[in-house]
Chains A and B, each alone.
Chain A
Amino acid sequence: MLIRTPPRHSPQSSEITPRSVFERRRLLLRAAAAGSIVPPALLGAGVVCAQSSSAQKLAASPAAGPLTTNEKPTPYKDVTTYNNFYEFGTEKDDPAQHAGTLRVKPWSVAVEGEVKKPRSFDLDELLKMAPLEERVYRLRCVEGWSMVVPWVGFPLAELIKRVEPTGNAKFVEFWTLADKAQMPGLSTPVLRWPYVEGLRMDEANHPLTLLTMGVYGEVLPKQNGAPVRIVVPWKYGFKSGKSIVKIRFVEKQPLTSWNLAAPQEYGFFSNVNPNVDHPRWSQATERRIGEDGFLQRKRKTLPFNGYAEQVAPLYAGMDLRRFF
């Protein structure tokens, strides 16, 4: 019944960068950024990790202060094999197994709608648009589990200012690719395809909202939304659209896929909120993947996923029970 077949496209365990190596690499980057002399032992670590993975590296400088957490990152293997990406199937291991068919080159993102300079960006342009930062974010899934993920990207605001939104731009839509030939999950109408998510302009411009190209110092694996995705860490995971092909600026609040599927369960805002339960389950606690379970009870979910200090002002005066 629950017999597992080895995921076909998932990395072999031999390909996975061990945490110790990964952490040394971050140390190396920090040391390099600080301009200090790099000890030969750390250089050696860099060579080891280059051999340990075939994925393309993304050089990024670690972000500072409230934009990154120093909580322990969830192992790479868990981050890349336990995914919700319904375009490749509804089981957690489906994306890692079936996303191999996704073609990420060439890739471009069309930016259109209420902007003065609509245009299309290819991936290389996006990668060079602004300095890449490593942001370690908490990720809270609406299903009640959470991870800590070291993303690589830059604030979406960098892109937004380059296309110059008009005064009519009140919301932004993020369109995920919808190609049946590449995405086997599209043949089942579980959600309305293409997958569309959206943010209010002030949310999209918030420094925490990340246009993301990498994870764990490497380009995004396909199952994690390659080659470019959005990450909005204070909202439930489904708000962070994957494999984005279109960014559209609009005047009216977008009709988003999960909201259309079950409006009473998934609101447009979907800010992480321990006090507003999903109609079918509690959102008060969460199971941190790799940590909570047999030995440790689930932890309390924090308002705005722990980013209240930064984002609560965006919702001042709003009834968060009504606008859930």
Chain B
Amino acid sequence: MAANQATAAVRARADSGWRMPSPARLRAVKALLFLAALLPLARLVAAGVADAQGLDWSGALTLGTNPIELITRSTGTWTLVFLCATLGITPLRRLTGWNWLVRLRRMIGLFAFFYAALHFVTYFWFDQWFDFRSIVADVIKRPFITVGFLAFLLLVPLALTSTDGMIRRLGRRWGTLHMAIYPIATLGVLHYWWLVKRDVTQPAIYAAILALLLGFRLAWRARTRAQDAPRASR
């Protein structure tokens, strides 16, 4: 009887809004997010098809004059967006108290890897045409490519260990491994910063967002430590 009342209470709270959404609502949110995260790719594909068909959407849907450059830039930009979104989950969760947000994080992080992989394949295939010598030379000689490549390499183990099985198997080490997201995002912004010719406005925006997201963590840690300190002395 008491147990029944407790579950009823939980259910009532779960049904009431966003603090603790019902499983059905969470599933819907996840599905919508999944579809939304595919939109950047859908746009590139649609633009490519429109160009191939010679359709003129008066500039609204086209890969433009330099399609490879646009695809490279778009997939790179979206990688940064998803990396920032992944890093945004924790601050948002703490500020709103919506703990369920953490259940979206894996998908967002995997989309960051997805767009990074598209970015990398575009470079490997359409920019370099599988010219391995030229690619190796680029990675060694060009600092912006070095850091971009390094960031991508570091993302691979995070993507591979994102299954439930791997999370269980790695235990505490999973969390340590996934701290790599911090250097990855930093290298990603650096990659963008070093590649632009002169106008660093765009990379500066990502750098500011990243600084904010990392700064929040430091501030949060400092605050909880300050709160814990008096209790410890008691």
Chain A interfacial positions (CB closer than 8 Å to B)? 1-7, 10, 12-13, 77-78, 81-82, 86, 90, 92-93, 143, 145, 188, 190-191, 261-262, 277, 280-282, 284, 287, 289-290, 293-294, 297-298
Contacts and interface: CB of A to CB of B under 8 A. Distances in A.
Contacts of B60: 3-6
B198 A90 contact: yes
Interface string B105-139: 00000000000000000000011010100100110
Given A4-B64, A6-B58, A190-B199, A282 B144 contact: no
Contacts of A86: 198
Contacts of A5: 59-60
B199 A82 contact: no
Interface stretch (B25-33, B65-73, B220-228): B65-73
B67 A90 contact: no
Interface string B171-184: 00000000000000
Contact of B77 (A1, A12, A78): A1
A86 B198 CA distance: 10
Nearest to A188: B199
Contacts of A282: 134, 137-138, 141-142
A289 B65 contact: yes
Contacts of A280: 142-144, 194-195
B65 A1 contact: no
Contacts of B197: 143
B68 A294 contact: yes
Contacts of B40: 1
13 contacts: A1-B77, A1-B81, A3-B60, A6-B59, A6-B60, A10-B59, A13-B58, A90-B199, A280-B144, A281-B142, A287-B66, A287-B69, A290-B65
6 nearest A-B residue pairs (beta carbon): A82-B65, A297-B129, A90-B199, A6-B59, A6-B58, A78-B65
B78 interface: yes
B164 interface: no
Given A78-B65, A82-B66, A92-B66, A2 B73 contact: yes
Contacts of B198: 86, 90, 190-191, 261-262
B127 A298 contact: yes
Given A90-B199, A280-B195, A81 B129 contact: no
B127 A93 contact: no
Given A3-B60, A4-B61, 16 more contacts: A1-B40, A1-B77, A5-B59, A10-B59, A77-B65, A81-B65, A82-B64, A86-B198, A92-B65, A145-B69, A190-B198, A190-B199, A280-B143, A282-B141, A282-B142, A289-B65
